[in-house]
Structure 1
Amino acid sequence: MIKNKYLAFLTLVFFIYNTSSISLENKILVKIEDQIITSLDVINEYNYLVAMNPSIKNSKKEDILKFSKRSIMQERIKKIEIENNFNNPKIPQKIQDQILKNIYSKIGFTNLYDFKEYLDNNDINFENVKNKLAIEALWNELILIKFSSKVKINKKKLRDKIENNNNKFLKSLLLSEIYFEIKNINELDNKFMEISQVIKNKGFDFAALEYSLSTTSNFGGKLDWINESSLNKNIIAAISNLEINEFTKPIVVPGGFLILKINEIKNTKIKIDVEKEFKKLEDFEKNYQLNQYSKIYFNRIKKDLKISEL
């Protein structure tokens, strides 16, 4: 059974896509074990990514097709591993409804009816969207089952952090992320310059689709509202002097680097509910650690699969 508190956690780290051009005629492009990916699959993924990220609509179609190919390959690899670990995997209706609400809220809809109509107007099959979200949720559940016992939380440290901030202004941030890796640390400055240029010329959403190895890339790197107190000290230091719409330099995180952009900031004076805030911090820390295990696990299973690009 999938647990609500883990639905939001972001699985990270996938592989680099092939940058060859993609023909729009319907033909097989990739074989991953017994799974095939056709040019029609890539076009459907293209429609989905554009619908979830309207700001990239005017970008070059060939660029978005490359992102779409990478995205659908990642999804198929996860699907294979899910089927290897679960018999007849399904998502409970209540959880499915919550996932859908989280998704359509991110792009500005307040109800499922309007979201379905939006998908229909963009030639996107609603059942396909449900299947895509189910795969991601089942992948999260698989990571939870395999690695939750390895998660270590310093509960005293979390409680002390909350008590020290009690009855003060609570600062909340709406962030977007780009997570990337490099083979050599000497490449970092050039890579950041390259990503920065794309952000300035085409927007953060487009840059997230092009460079980010996180599943949030499919939604322009957008994250949910996060309390500043939930973030580690390195991230707080990196964003402390940023204004809205500015982004950080690369932040070192396990396995790679993170660029964060501030979309909105809220300051609210409240007396913190210690237990409620502790639960949020605890879940955030668990999700953060599970992200790292997810990256490692994905890379490991990918190496064991037979992948042929035709």
Structure 2
Amino acid sequence: MGKNIKLSITTILLSIFLLTNSNAELNNKVIISVGDEIITNYDLDKEINYLNVITVGQIKKSDDREFKEIAIDSLIKDKIKITALSNYNNIIIKDELLNNQMIKTSRNIGFRNFEDFTTFLKFQEYELDEFKKKILLELKWNQLVYQFYKNQIVIDKKKIDEKLKILIAEQKKNVEYLVYEIFIENSAIKELDEESEEELNENKVVEELPENKVVDEKNSGIIIEAENASYNNKKNSIVEEKSIEKEVEVETNDQIIEGKKKDQITIDDVIENIKEEGFENTAIKFSSSATAQQGGNLGWVSESKFSKVLVKSVNETKIGSITEPIPISGGILILKVGDKRVEETNMDLNKEMEKIIEIEKNKQLNNFSTNYFNQIKNNIKIKYFND
């Protein structure tokens, strides 16, 4: 009985050993030879994982067969480059360059910092050392191509100058306006008659105002970002709340509403007051903005800070004139364009020229790299083994 048990255990262990070896052989089975280099099933699995990493899983959208073909093609290219580099042991890549390229690659993939990328690698069960080998191979290959072809790079100075001229012509210009504002709360505006209301609605250009623009809704108030000038439509309200002393008879709701209506104004009243007393005085008198005491002066505001609605209105307004009343959330806005200035952004022409030359060099080196790779590939025997 004891002998039978021992025999059964031995048989089971032997079966497990043979099965394990069989799986190992299957994983390490050679599927392709590239010259003296070989590609195994294990290599293919690693390459598939690598492609998942650098595409952040996007390549999985391909069907399995296409996915496998892409991975095999990538492995063959690597083996051809390894074969070429085997004859040049003098190519050394400094650790600093390698680390910088790894960080740059992780950013190109879409990661803000390298720590997040390494965490992603662990999640994908892909070793950082394997990723490093991939980057190192590309750096060595690029260095090899550069050594061979650096003297064949031709820089056409005339062509570079033309590109630089185009760049200078297209450089962004910073347009700024000296702007004054009057903001009238909805609660301070008299109800319009039907004809006036229809006319205002026809010209209404309200849109959802994005954040980080000149006009931004916050806590039911309006905030304008421009040289410390901001306004909140809860400040300096046109509607003056009359304090009621204890000994004074309390007014009825109708009386309070009627009193408020008397304090309300129409937009026509504001426009007329601007004509008679000037924009700044009208701002002091009627504006709900915190800039009211400064005559509505917002200072110089960059065009890029305006919302689309305000850019359109300001651009269509002559210097020294006022915009049409602009309905915005919470009330009506009127702007005065005091002045305009255009400042060209500073451009370091030497640095820009260096960038253009570097781009041209890389373009030529990429062409040399492709040609050199194809030459080597044509002289290497690639053999596929059946499953």
CA shift, 1:25, in A, is 4.5
Which structure would you say has the larger Rg? Answer: 2
List runs of 5+ in structure 1 lacking aligned partners: 1-23, 171-268
Aligned to 1:156: 158
Q: Which amino acid aligns with 1:147?
A: Y
Is 2:63 the partner of 1:63?
no
Aligned to 1:112: 114
Output the CA distance in 2 between the equivalents of 1:94 and 1:25.
35
Aligned to 1:94: 96
Is 2:298 the partner of 1:295?
no
CA shift, 1:299, in A, is 0.7
Is 2:104 the partner of 1:78?
no
User: Per-residue CA shift, 1:236-261, capped at 9, x if unaligned?
Assistant: xxxxxxxxxxxxxxxxxxxxxxxxxx
CA shift, 1:275, in A, is 0.6
How many corresponding residue pairs? 188
Output the CA distance in 2 between the equivalents of 1:308 and 1:134.
26
CA shift, 1:114, in A, is 1.8
CA contact (8 A) 1:91 1:138 kept: yes
CA shift, 1:164, in A, is 4.3
Output the CA distance in 2 between the equivalents of 1:305 and 1:59.
29
Output the CA distance in 2 between the equivalents of 1:72 and 1:164.
42
Aligned to 1:273: 348
CA contact (8 A) 2:27 2:40 kept: no
Residues 132-151 of structure 1 mapped to structure 2, 5 A cutoff: 132-151=134-153
Residues 1-310 of structure 1 mapped to structure 2, 5 A cutoff: 25-53=27-55, 54-87=57-90, 89-166=91-168, 168-169=170-171, 270-310=345-385
List runs of 5+ in structure 2 lacking aligned partners: 1-25, 173-343
Aligned to 1:9: none
Specify whether residues 122 and 273 from structure 1 end up closer, same or farther in structure 2 by C-alpha distance, changes over 3 A only: same
Output the CA distance in 2 between the equivalents of 1:70 and 1:167.
44
CA contact (8 A) 1:163 1:274 kept: no
Q: Which amino acid aligns with 2:76?
A: M
Aligned to 2:310: none
SS at match of 2:96: helix
CA shift, 1:97, in A, is 1.3
Specify whether residues 166 and 46 from structure 1 end up closer, same or farther in structure 2 by C-alpha distance, changes over 3 A only: same
Specify whether residues 103 and 270 from structure 1 end up closer, same or farther in structure 2 by C-alpha distance, changes over 3 A only: same
User: Per-residue CA shift, 1:212-247, capped at 9, x if unaligned?
Assistant: xxxxxxxxxxxxxxxxxxxxxxxxxxxxxxxxxxxx
User: Per-residue CA shift, 1:176-214, capped at 9, x if unaligned?
Assistant: xxxxxxxxxxxxxxxxxxxxxxxxxxxxxxxxxxxxxxx
Output the CA distance in 2 between the equivalents of 1:156 and 1:101.
35
When normalised by structure 1's length, the TM-score is 0.57
SS at match of 2:31: strand
Output the CA distance in 1 between the equivalents of 2:92 and 2:132.
11
Output the CA distance in 2 between the equivalents of 1:103 and 1:300.
28
- Structure 1: 4+ residue segments shifted above 4 A: none
Aligned to 1:208: none
Output the CA distance in 2 between the equivalents of 1:35 and 1:300.
17
Q: Which amino acid aligns with 2:52?
A: V
| % identical equivalent positions | 30
Q: Which amino acid aligns with 1:91?
A: I
Q: Which amino acid aligns with 1:30?
A: I
Aligned to 1:177: none
SS at match of 1:296: helix
CA shift, 1:153, in A, is 0.6
Output the CA distance in 2 between the equivalents of 1:276 and 1:106.
23
Output the CA distance in 1 between the equivalents of 2:61 and 2:164.
44
CA contact (8 A) 2:60 2:67 kept: no
Output the CA distance in 1 between the equivalents of 2:115 and 2:127.
14
User: Per-residue CA shift, 1:249-278, capped at 9, x if unaligned?
Assistant: xxxxxxxxxxxxxxxxxxxx7343211110
Larger relative contact order (Cα-Cα within 8 Å, sequence gap ≥ 6): 1
